[in-house]
Structure 1
Amino acid sequence: MGTTRTTDSTATTEKRTDDETVPAQAVATEKETDAAAVPEDAEDIEGADQGQELDQDAPAPPGTAGVAAGAGAVVAAGLGLASVTGTWLGTLMAERQTLMGQINLQAGKATDQISAMYGTPWHTTALVNGVFAVLAALVAAVVLTRPRATWVRAVAWGGLALGVLGLLISAGMYLDLFGSMPTIPKGTRPGA
């Protein structure tokens, strides 16, 4: 009943069983199947190990955690940039300090006009920019605490760098390292 037909080495071997034609590979013996399966399993295991190693560097699957990390990195970079370039809030606070200095001068309460009109607003701007710099560094550090996608880490590192730079600039402004407080020359003081 069973007829086996074999052609050249590249052709398929067929086995005829009760009027059905079945490829020889499908009716291979159990011994051949086991021998063929072992190398494939070994390759699968090696591939899985390599895949796991690659997955560590692969981006996280999309989800709320990935979106939050990306948003945090962008916020950190934005805060860092704001700390370096200045903010509307810093300008507003400096103008408020200038106005308060003018009011104190008119009321006769300010003893140092230059400090009231120049120094205090300058230091207020430095403090506000310093707060933005610290926030940028903190947000970037939080984002960098876990493995993230490459672009998220890059943006977070940029935010951290800008935050540190903003903090250094703010400290220099507050401590008058970039320029000393203006003074009135001794020969032009009233009453001298």
Structure 2
Amino acid sequence: MASSSSEDERGHQTGEGDEALEGEGGEALEGEGEGTATRTLYERGPASLPPVPLPHNRSVIRPMAKRAWLVLSGTPARTPASILGVLCRKWYPGIVQLSEEPVVREPASNWDRYALVMDDTYRNKQEQVLAEFWKYFKAEEGLEAQADRAAAAACREYVTEMHHHGRVQAHIDYYRSVLRQSLPKPQARQITLTWD
């Protein structure tokens, strides 16, 4: 596969497959031997939420196709999809208890398991994610219920994808920090963990 590369505004070489390595912070890989160049590998920083707008400044949105939103008014700091994705990661409940007798605990690997974890302010983590999403946006008048269903359906997919991307990113991070090598996402996706 041919890789196109160019120099970015910081003077570093960027190329196809480097998107997983871009971001804030970084560590330099020191080349050993003659003719080896020093290359900086960038670690993607955690996505953060923008400040919550005042209620009268929220963008009005309408649910469109799967996970797509049409912004009818206002200029949001981030897209509705990216806000939902960050909220799903921010309020990830971790290990949830599935049953009392026998006690069964598993990671919250799907959106339904967010409902199993109670919260002090909201009934559960599902409700918390959706309530915080609506602090950033306002649904088009008359489409509030449809917009709520669309947001929940999008979260269902984001949570599933979150685990896939976490596995891929773990491989990339391991190669960068332990093996001191770059690992493009396409190759990271092909790696499977074994007990060996």
Higher relative contact order (CA 8 A, sep 6+): 1
Larger radius of gyration: 1
TM-score bucket of the superposed structures, by smaller chain: under 0.3
Q: Which has the higher strand share?
A: 2
Q: TM-score, length-normalised on structure 2? A: 0.21
